[in-house]
Amino acid sequence: MHRIVVLSVFLFIALMVQAQEFVSVKGLVYHDLNSNGKREKSEPGIAGVAVSNGSDVVLTDASGAYQLQIQATDGQLFVIKPSAYNYPVNKNNLPQFFYLHKPNGAPKMKFETLHETGPLPESVDFGLLTGCDSEVFSVIVASDPQAYTEEQVSFYETDIVNELKTNTEAVMGFTLGDIVGDRPDLFEAMNAATGKIGLPWFHVPGNHDMNYDAKNSDQADESFERYYGPSTYSFNQGKVHFFVLNDVVYPNTYNDQQYIGGLSEKQFSYLENVLKTIPKENLLVFLMHIPLYNELQWGETFRNEHRSRFFELLKDRPFTFSLSGHTHTQRHYFFDEKQGWLQSNPHHHYTVGTASGDWWSGAPKANGVPVSTMSDGTPNGYNVLSFDGNTYSYEYKAASFDSGFKMRVYGPNIVPANSYFRGEFYVSFFQGNETDTVYFRLNNGAWKKMRYVVEADPFFCAVRYEWDHATVLPAGTRPSNPTLCYHLWKARVPNRLPEGLHEIAIRVKDRYGREYNANYSFKAVKPD
């Protein structure tokens, strides 16, 4: 009898604790026809819309109503918009799709966090705006603008924002983390700059956006949440479901690195639950900061166990694509069965080039912004992703260059005429990968294949040589050391050529059958 009483007391206490930890919330998802942010009597609720607390996912009923439980002191809600609707945005074009419930505010930290949100409203409603559910559309993807100073915010605005203002085709944009460089107090300035592009803009948190004084991983994104809301969420556009994933685990208790890539139990629950609402013929696009693959020089940079669990969730999803930033290089990685992917067709992961390039380093360009070539030879810039149904393609745009600048050819300017010469020339096709093919021909001769290689980009090696052998201190910040380039091809410079100018035409055929062209010329001169 005594044991039964004790057990009953423990059960009662457990139930009381659980009741204190969670509160029930209800609300409505409605069509905000006049876009004023308030529900009018004439504005209908929207049935079948997914709403989440970051773990569970429910669908609205016929009247647009939903009900969920959230944490009593640190809860969140967000609406997963259907394709035919848009999110409202604030003055800086940040989408307003969420409600954060922190009645006592977020923990106080070095950088400002969310203030007290007050008591839970009787109804947490989400208004969605009229959108377009066309299956053909494009988006902008930038990564790592990583401003450490207000001057670097101005670099970003001059080099990236001003150029993107002219893009009238894209429907939205994404930043794949490292919005700032350990300076969450610069979020406001970065948001004001990005807002001038005029597109709804979504943000992924990066390791340099964290609160480094956080006591646990749940607190590491508190300053991020203050401006952008939940750090993991998703939504529909056309026949694509976009996932924004916070994959930065900080503090890292797994190994001796400061942080590591991975996902939380709550995120795995969310992924499992939201996937139930997405048709299998739709394309799943995952946007994250830290790449899914491991960077060899650093060991395990994304938790192998978490990648395996992630792939397990996707094993019966034939249309997937993931993107990351973080490395300040550009690389395509194809996961096959040897790397744990559970389908015969590989999973494509694309680490995109960064807005800040090589951390705003190098000599200034004509517009005053550092040239900032990445350590693999890629110019700083951004990507345009195009979607048609559940298919996708990409175009990398180098900032401050003409849109036709897709590759850089590097080779000797002069060679000995009528002689044997052991020189090589290289083509760095910035958005390229090993599935593409690069050809060359000399003086309108026959086309020949170039060889795909993984080496340091000789152009960037030459840049570093100039810096290291300068006799006068160069303007700007010294670039990083060269790293391996995964979009590089090379061939031997033809030998025994007559004196004079010689032209080499370059032709690239990519994995989509698209063709890109460039030219390279050099002189053959009589040896002394």
Q: How confident is the model at residue 60 (pLDDT cuts 50, 70, 90)?
A: very high
Distance CA 380, CA 58 (A): 41
pLDDT tens, 361-387? 999 999 999 999 999 999 999 999 999
Choose the CATH number for 132-398 among 3.40.1000.10, 3.40.50.620, 3.60.21.10, 1.10.287.10: 3.60.21.10
CA distances from 441 to 116, 394, 428, 503, 513 (A): 67, 27, 17, 8, 19
Element (H, E) at 505: strand 500-509
Element (H, E) at 473: none
Q: How confident is the model at residue 485 (pLDDT cuts 50, 70, 90)?
A: very high
Asked if residue 83 lies in contact with residue 92, where contact means CB atoms within 8 angstroms, the answer is no
Judged against a pLDDT cut of 90, whether residue 15 lies above it is answered with: no
Element (H, E) at 335: strand 331-335
E strands, 199-298, are 201-204, 233-237, 240-244, 248-249, 260-261, 283-287
Asked if residue 423 lies in contact with residue 458, where contact means CB atoms within 8 angstroms, the answer is no
Answer whether 2-77+87-126 and 132-398 agree in fold: no
| Dihedral angle computed from the Cα positions of residues 474, 480, 482 and 485, in that order, rounded to the nearest 10 degrees | -120
Residue spans of the domains in the chain: they are: 2-77+87-126, 132-398, 407-525
pLDDT tens, 338-348? 999 999 999 99
Q: How confident is the model at residue 526 (pLDDT cuts 50, 70, 90)?
A: very high
pLDDT for res 10: 43
Q: Which two tokens stand for residue 428?
A: 């760095």
CA distances from 215 to 54, 221, 229, 252 (A): 21, 11, 20, 11
Q: Among all chains, which residue has been given the structure tokens 């298919």?
A: 391
Distance CA 151, CA 154 (A): 5
pLDDT for res 166: 86
pLDDT for res 436: 98
Judged against a pLDDT cut of 50, whether residue 469 lies above it is answered with: yes
429 forms beta bridges with 407
Asked if residue 426 lies in contact with residue 520, where contact means CB atoms within 8 angstroms, the answer is no
Judged against a pLDDT cut of 60, whether residue 13 lies above it is answered with: no
Q: CATH for 2-77+87-126?
A: 2.60.40
pLDDT tens, 268-289? 999 999 999 999 999 999 999 9
**pTM for this one?**
0.95
pLDDT for res 298: 78
- Residue 236's Cβ-count burial label (10 Å; 0-12, 13-18, 19+) is buried
Of 276, 196, 288, 285, residue with least CA distance to 239 = 285
CA distances from 499 to 425, 493, 496 (A): 19, 14, 9
Asked if residue 261 lies in contact with residue 291, where contact means CB atoms within 8 angstroms, the answer is yes
Distance CA 485, CA 504 (A): 22
pLDDT tens, 112-136? 999 999 999 999 999 999 999 999 9
The radius of gyration computed from the CA coordinates of the chain, to the nearest angstrom, equals 26
Q: What CATH superfamily is the domain 407-525?
A: Immunoglobulins (2.60.40.10)
